[in-house]
Structure 1
Amino acid sequence: MRTVMSEFLTTHEVADLLRIKVRKVYDLASRGKIPCSRATGKLLFPKDAVHRWLANNGTTPPAADEQQSLPNVLLGSHDPLLEWALRASGCGIATFFDGSLDGVMRFLDGAGMASAMHIYNRKSGEWNIPCVRDKLHHRNVALMEWAKRDRGIILSEACTRSVTHIADVAGLTLVPRQPGAGSQQLFEQLLDDAGIGESDCAFVTPERTESDAVLPLLEHKADASFGLPSVAEQYKLRFVPVIQERVDIAVDRKAWFEPAWQHFLRFCGSDTFANKTATTEGYDFRSFGTIHYNAD
């Protein structure tokens, strides 16, 4: 094992070799700029490949001290109010919402400048911070609170069952979300806590956004989904509150000071934003902007 491992360099050894900070090594690796391997779950660098790479690139690594600008795209979890705010602000930030976990992985690949998430850690009882510490600890990010919001069971008009708790969905046909969605991960945890297994319910095809998740209810293809009160109110469907979650946005700290993000933050301080959030069911913005994690 020692012979095999001697063929690889650690992150700190690469930093010493290149005379750069460890954070810059992680940045180069995440952008595919330096040969590396994650096969063991730990970031390792093939010694021979690194020396060849260094010889081909001169005495200093290209762009080691100059981080490339990330695209103005907000990744991760879909939140209807966040989507509205980005459009209404005119900040120019595009969106690619396909789930909290999907957003984290795309953020690692440099596909966007920020990623929204609501990832619950059952062991610690925390929202988002454990995931950021685990997945993004080497990235130059700040984790900003967007909002706390209620989440619960949305029921179709055709469902006549009395539902007051998560355990009451046993036997119903449910609308799941895609595996990378934070809401799906949370729903599965809550079902497990209530003693409900996969075989205790029927499931239709997964939906990818909060808004799309109610469509099978409107079409009478499913009885319930795990969603937001604002969406239930929009379609005049019954809503049973289950939990309050916290939605945060991991933002690249360099992108934080770019015009697009600053424009968006200014809009979030406007009367238009305040009026909209005050009249949208199920949101709590009193701690908006709180920084829950800041990279060292």
Structure 2
Amino acid sequence: MSDSSSTSPFLNVHQVAELLHLNEKKVYQLASDGAIPSTKVTGKWLFPRRLVEQWILESCHHGVLADRLMVTGSDDPLLSALIMRLNQQQQGHAFYGYSVTGTQLGLSLLSQGRADVCAIHWGRAEESELRHPALVRSHSGYRHWVLVRLFRRSQGLIIRAEDRHQPHDPSGLFGANRRWAIRQEGAGSQRFLKEWLAGHQLRLEQLNTHAVAYSEREIASLIARHDADIGPGTLSAANEFGLGFIPITEEAFDLVTPRNVYFRSLLQQMFDYLHSAAGLTLAQSLGGYTLDECGKLLWRGDDVQHT
């Protein structure tokens, strides 16, 4: 290998084959299956050197960072509270990280190997059996992922505390005097809002939008500070800020993770805590959660019917 090729941030198929002691046909297969960090440029596969080296370490150790779990994707108050409690239990022996990005960006980070777990929600609970696998399959690497139920939660519209006892005819929510806070594109709550509006023959552009928020809590915070009057969110986020709530639907809140990460004790401890008396009490105190399917394996990317 020449000096220039050894310093390049990218490897070609031949170089990866040499590095892994595989034939080039197997490397092509790994790339096509999304099993190795790669990208196709003008018909040729390129492999980011740093990510390939990280992938090798992860493969050798079932996660070289097995003492930490990086969670990304959708925002949720119960998930956030759960992770804080688990970190306290670990007392520095292990670490949970939670970075809220929204569903779509979270899946992108997972496919790049930058996160261990992605939290997603993409519509009503009764449609999640089809919607969530379809969404996951749109990202490279999905054949090595599994989909696990965390809980179901009440989704709707967060409103000002002083409006909670007023009648809420849907047509009255769209007037010019209603200041909306919405979510960024790719967030599950933004998807929910668009679909709900479509059911009323309205488009997002017709709302009096005053702010874009990047989490459930930011929506609630904007309304609590009187910087907005209404926005999409969960009952738990509304309760946390002492706000009103208009229930619209129940949605499934699921976790996407590589198969080897699914078996890590740190992830299993999340399910165990939510099944415990303390976890059930926590969910009840926040409001709007159903935990009866917590930890249920819903879908595997390597299932024969999805190949």
Cα separation, 1, equivalents of 2:235 and 2:59: 46
1:202/1:285 Cα in 2 relative to 1: closer, same or farther (>3 Å)?
same
Q: Distance in 1 between matches of 2:74 and 2:41?
A: 26
Q: Tell me, in whole angstroms, the C-alpha distance in 2 between the residues paired with 1:110 and 1:269.
A: 29
Task: Please give the alpha-carbon distance, in whole angstroms, between the structure 2 residues aligned to 1:73 and 1:205.
Answer: 29
Amino acid at match of 1:291: L
Summarize the Cα distance change of 1:95–1:234 in structure 2 as closer, same or farther, 3 Å threshold: closer
- How far, CA to CA, are the matches of 1:286 and 1:229 in structure 2? 18
Whole-Å Cα distance in 1 between the matches of residues 28 and 41 of structure 2? 20
- What corresponds to 2:148 in structure 1? 144
Where do 5+ consecutive residues of structure 1 fail to align? 1-8, 10-14
Q: How far has the Cα of 1:196 moved from its partner?
A: 1.7
The residue that corresponds to 1:162 in the other structure is: 167
Number of the residue aligned with 1:130: 134
C-alpha distance in 2, partners of 1:234/1:19? 52
Please say if 1:251 is aligned against 2:257.
yes
Aligned to 2:122: 119
Aligned match of 1:225 in 225, 231, 234?
231
Normalised to the residue count of structure 1, the TM-score between the two structures is 0.76
* Structure 2: segments with no counterpart, 5+ residues: 1-12, 14-21, 303-307
- 1:156 touches 1:223 (CA, 8 Å); kept in 2? yes
* Aligned residue type for 1:109: Q
Residue 69 of structure 2 corresponds to which residue in structure 1?
A: 72
User: If the length of structure 2 is used for normalisation, what is the TM-score?
Assistant: 0.74
- Distance in 2 between residues matched to 1:137 and 1:193, nearest whole Å: 34
Distance across 2 between alignment mates of 1:62 and 1:242:
46
Q: 1:64 to 1:220 in 2, by over 3 A?
A: closer
Q: Deviations over 1:164-206 (max 9, x none)?
A: 44x4421221111111211012211211221123343211221
1:1-296 matched pairs, under 5 angstroms: 17-19=24-26, 22-23=29-30, 26-27=33-34, 29=36, 31-32=37-38, 36-37=39-40, 44-46=43-45, 66=60, 69=64, 72-90=69-87, 92-120=95-123, 126-136=130-140, 138-157=142-161, 159=163, 162-165=167-170, 167-171=171-175, 172-296=178-302
Q: Relative to structure 2, which stretch is displaced further, 236-245 or 264-273?
A: 264-273
SS of the aligned residue for 1:81 comes to: helix
- Specify which structure has the higher proportion of helix: 2
Q: C-alpha separation between the residues in 1 aligned to 2:276 and 2:63?
A: 31
For the 8 Å contact 1:69–1:255, the answer to whether it is kept is no
- State the SS of the aligned residue for 1:268: helix
Following TM superposition, by how much is the alpha carbon of 1:211 offset from its aligned partner in structure 2, in angstroms? 1.3
Number of residue pairs aligned between Structure 1 and Structure 2: 264
> Which residue of structure 2 aligns with residue 6 of structure 1?
none
1:85 counterpart letter in structure 2: L
Query: Could you give the per-residue CA deviations for residues 81-128 of structure 1, whole angstroms, max 9, x where no partner exists?
Result: 01111111235210111101110011111111110000139xx77441
Alpha-carbon distance in 1 for matches of 2:272, 2:282: 15
Partner amino acid, structure 2, of 1:74: V
Q: How far is 1:215 from its partner?
A: 1.8
Matched letter for residue 220 of structure 2: V
- Which stretch has the larger CA shift, 215-224 or 73-82? 215-224
The amino acid that maps onto 2:99 is F
C-alpha distance 274-170 of structure 1, shift in aligned 2 (>3 A):
same
- Identical-pair percentage: 18
Local SS of the residue matching 2:138: helix
Give how far 1:245 is off: 0.7
Q: CA distance change for structure 1 residues 64 and 159 in 2, over 3 Å: closer, same or farther?
A: closer
Residue 216 (structure 1) shift? 2.0
Q: Aligned-residue CA RMSD in angstroms?
A: 3.3
CA contact (8 A) 1:173 1:224 kept: yes
Q: 1:246 to 1:127 in 2, by over 3 A?
A: farther
Secondary structure (helix, strand or coil) at the match of 1:243 reads: strand
